[in-house]
Amino acid sequence: MEKTCPVVGIITILSKKWNLLILKLLNEHDKKRFSELMVEVYGVSSRTLSKRLKELETAKLIKKAKFNEIPPRVEYSLTVS
């Protein structure tokens, strides 16, 4: 059984296109809505942005806050500042 360095998992996540930019934007601002990220991450498709946000949330680097409003509101923020 091979042991892998724990840093490999982090590097794998951070090396994916758009992830560092998303984390940078969330670090500069307390929280961002999906539509704000779509505008600021120029060139990303909504599908790719959604996928990257889910990956970062699964890795526990960001958190997603859902609000029961009409229209629905979702905000993303870093888990650690």
Round the average pLDDT of the chain to a whole number and report it. Answer: 91
Backbone angles phi and psi of 73, in degrees to 5 = -125, 135
pLDDT digits (tens, 9 = 90+) for 31-52: 999 999 999 999 999 999 999 9
DSSP 17-80: TTHHHHHHHHHHSS-EEHHHHHHHSTT--HHHHHHHHHHHHHTTSEEEEEE--SS-EEEEEES-
How large is the average pLDDT for residues 14-35? Answer: 93
